[in-house]
Chain A
Amino acid sequence: MQLTINGKPRSFDAASFSVAHLVNTLELTGKRLAIERNGEIVPRSQFEATQLLDGDKLEIVGAVGGG
């Protein structure tokens, strides 16, 4: 399946997997982040239960220095 992650297209072999699996694949496990899928926030408690599908657009954000 094809996902758009933070504006960039990325291809994956599997037809579908969970948000938790994606976080693990991207080596972001344990990092403090928030994820939006097609404009809707995916609560952390739903990472396991939320299945991603071909064409999904994801935003993965964190806190950085700012004023």
Chain B
Amino acid sequence: MSDLLKIADKTYSSRLLVGTGKYKNFTETRAAIDASGAEIVTVAIRRTNIGQTAGEPSLLDFLPPEEFTYLPNTAGCYSADDAVRTLRLARELLDGHKLVKLEVLGDPNTLYPNMIETIAAAKTLVKEGFDVMVYCSDDPIIAKQLEEIGCCAVMPLASLIGSGMGILNPWNLQIIIENAKIPVLVDAGVGTASDAAIAMELGCQGVLMNTAIAAAGNPVLMAGAMKKAVEAGRDAYLAGRMPKKLYSASPSSPSTGLIT
């Protein structure tokens, strides 16, 4: 049985999307991403170092764009204009690549998204032909609006970026999932494997994370744990969990044939 993640008419067998920041070096980045099994990797767009050593290795040497689907982000952007500008550059950088992660931040301390600017940027980007996966607050109305604008996936936060606090509002997330006709992925706030499994059990189509892997004591081991958690959570969701009961009046062992 094939159970594929479909985003903007392309399918992926991995439901774990990973960031490429905060690793010790590119070798560790590559090893962790291999262990995660991720096919989609996020990258940031930044000014090139001018006058640095010419032969300096780049991220792309370790993660060739032929092997992975790049998801350029707008991390660090605080206005719709900056986000749109960044992704236009990303599209040129990656030879017309359309799949992007939009995030417009509202505050440097919490990195909480500014949804007014995010919505404005999403409108422009969709009009310009981008496939927009959008980082958002866990507000069901906002999530629906982003879908109506034409985003190809909504990615509500589990908790604040880099906080590792896990899913703080599973009920909102559930409402977003129930109402959505496009994939819902949890982005940001996952701290450990059980958080990823819970997101998937709730019915998320995927999970995007960076710090939970990169800041783990052993990033490669944690990447493997996240892979299993996402797969286990997905299977549990598809299998359908048993109802929760305060008491169980049906024991698992036979109630006949007891020794008296």
Q: Which of B23, B50, B60 has the most C-beta atoms of chain A within 10 angstroms of its own C-beta?
A: B50
A9 touches B (CB below 8 Å)? no
Assess the B50–A26 pair: CB atoms within 8 A.
yes
Distance to closest chain B CB from A18 (angstroms): 17
Assess the B93–A66 pair: CB atoms within 8 A.
no
B127 touches A (CB below 8 Å)? no
Residues of A within 8 Å of B, CB-based: how many? Answer: 26
Assess the A64–B93 pair: CB atoms within 8 A.
no
Closest residue of chain A to B20, judged by CB? Answer: A65
Interface contact tally, CB-CB below 8 A: 98
Residues of B within 8 Å of A, CB-based: how many? Answer: 36
Residues of A bordering B, CB below 8 Å:
5-8, 26-28, 31-36, 39, 41, 43-44, 59-67
Q: 12 A-B Cβ contacts within 8 A?
A: A8-B50, A34-B93, A36-B85, A36-B89, A60-B50, A61-B46, A61-B48, A63-B59, A65-B59, A66-B44, A67-B19, A67-B161
Residues of B bordering A, CB below 8 Å:
19-23, 29, 42-48, 50-51, 54, 58-60, 70, 72-73, 75, 85, 88-90, 92-94, 161-162, 209-211, 214
